[in-house]
């Protein structure tokens, strides 16, 4: 075979390969921009990803570079709100949700309810600036001497006071149940059953559940079965994931996330799923793992 003939065939083979793995093909997206996933929309948590980076603007830029078009944040107080808004606008990033009310002081204590309402009002202003329609709220840690049922009743009353504020601003408060076996021992709200009971009692379209699959798996298992119950009750506004053990990306633990994500599709969930997981090695590898889990 002559050198020219060999060069011609090699060029043809390379062209054919490029056609098979083009810039818009699944393989190319997985390699270069894994955040552009196939079936599910993901919002990468820039608190748990890029944890060593002090500059939140650089974290947002890193998320966009991996192909993600949405992010989630924790409290807004420690961030330059204008800079975050401008950066997300520039990068085409959507802020799906952020934390409005954390673990302490507890929503499960009536003495904190006025402060809760004030904080929701302030957080709604941030939500407007960030073009965000959901804000996470947390129930609170156990109060010595107070039965769990009573603490849950207090959460209901607090949410009933906050709901009109959220409705006025067009925002949804998303209540997050935790797990007490691994991460949040001593927290008063865990598992789907009590969370569903609380949402039903509040009875507001602007108060729903942040359904963290990691916490639910540890607390009760049967992820798909409980998801069906949650959606049947019209109680779920948003979901998050992480694998277990380790709270790392899908594929690092015991949860078969391709099956769970497929169930979300069957349930006609079209919202985002938050990636509230810690990359086990690098953010790039974690993004590739998320892409693979969603490629069912």
What does the pLDDT profile of the chain (296 residues) look like in tens digits?
Answer: 444 433 333 333 333 333 344 555 666 667 789 999 999 999 999 999 999 999 999 999 999 999 999 999 999 999 999 999 999 999 999 999 999 999 999 999 999 999 999 999 999 999 999 999 999 999 999 999 999 999 999 999 999 999 999 999 999 999 999 999 999 999 999 999 999 999 999 999 999 999 999 999 999 999 999 999 999 999 999 999 999 999 999 999 999 999 999 999 999 999 999 999 999 999 999 999 999 999 99
Looking at residue 32, its pLDDT comes to 84
| Residue 148 pLDDT | 98
Q: How many CA atoms lie within 13 A of 256 on its CB side?
A: 6
| Angle at 107 (CA atoms; ends 241, 276), nearest 5 degrees | 15
CATH class of segment(s) 34-294: alpha beta
Instruction: Give the pLDDT confidence score for residue 26 in this predicted structure.
Output: 63
Q: How far apart are CA 91 and CA 96, in angstroms?
A: 15
Which sign does the torsion angle of CA 191, 212, 259, 282 carry?
negative
Q: How many CB atoms lie within 10 A of CB 92?
A: 9
The domains of the chain are located at 1-32, 34-294
Residues in the chain: 296
pLDDT for the residue numbered 225: 98
Angle at 205 between CA 203 and CA 207, to 5 degrees: 75
Q: Which residues pair with 187 in a beta bridge?
A: 141
pTM here is 0.91
For residue 174, list its beta bridge partners: 136, 208
1 beta partners: none
Three-state secondary structure string covering 147-193: CHHHHHHHHHHHHHHHHHHHHHHCCEEEECCECCCCCCCCECCECHH
Rounded Cα distance, 141 and 144, in Å: 10
């Amino acid at each position: 075979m002559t050198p020219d003939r060999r060069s011609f065939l090699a060029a043809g083979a390379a062209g054919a390969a490029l056609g098979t793995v083009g810039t818009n093909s699944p393989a190319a997206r997985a390699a270069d921009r894994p955040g552009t996933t196939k079936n599910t929309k993901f919002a990468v948590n820039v608190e748990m990803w890029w944890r060593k980076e002090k500059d939140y603007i650089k974290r947002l830029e890193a998320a966009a570079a991996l192909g993600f078009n949405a992010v989630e944040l924790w409290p807004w107080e420690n961030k330059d709100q204008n800079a975050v808004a401008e950066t997300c606008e520039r990068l085409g990033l959507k802020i799906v949700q952020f934390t409005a009310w954390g673990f302490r002081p507890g929503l499960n204590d009536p003495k904190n309810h006025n402060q809760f309402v004030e904080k929701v009002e302030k957080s709604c202003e941030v939500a407007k600036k960030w073009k965000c329609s959901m804000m996470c709220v947390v129930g609170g840690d156990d109060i010595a001497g107070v039965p769990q049922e009573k603490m849950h009743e207090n959460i209901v009353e607090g949410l009933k006071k906050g709901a009109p504020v959220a409705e006025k601003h067009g925002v949804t408060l998303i209540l997050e149940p935790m797990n007490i076996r691994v991460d949040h021992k001593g927290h008063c709200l865990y598992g789907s059953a009590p969370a569903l009971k609380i949402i039903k009692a509040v009875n507001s379209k602007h108060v729903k559940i942040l359904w963290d699959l990691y916490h639910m798996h540890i607390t009760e298992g049967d992820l798909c079965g409980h998801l069906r119950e949650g959606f049947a009750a019209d109680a779920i506004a948003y979901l998050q994931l992480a694998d277990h053990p380790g709270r790392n990306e899908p594929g690092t633990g015991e949860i078969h996330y391709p099956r769970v994500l497929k169930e979300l599709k069957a349930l006609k969930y079209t919202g985002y799923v938050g990636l509230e997981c810690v990359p086990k090695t690098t953010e790039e590898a974690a993004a590739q793992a998320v892409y693979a889990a969603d490629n069912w």
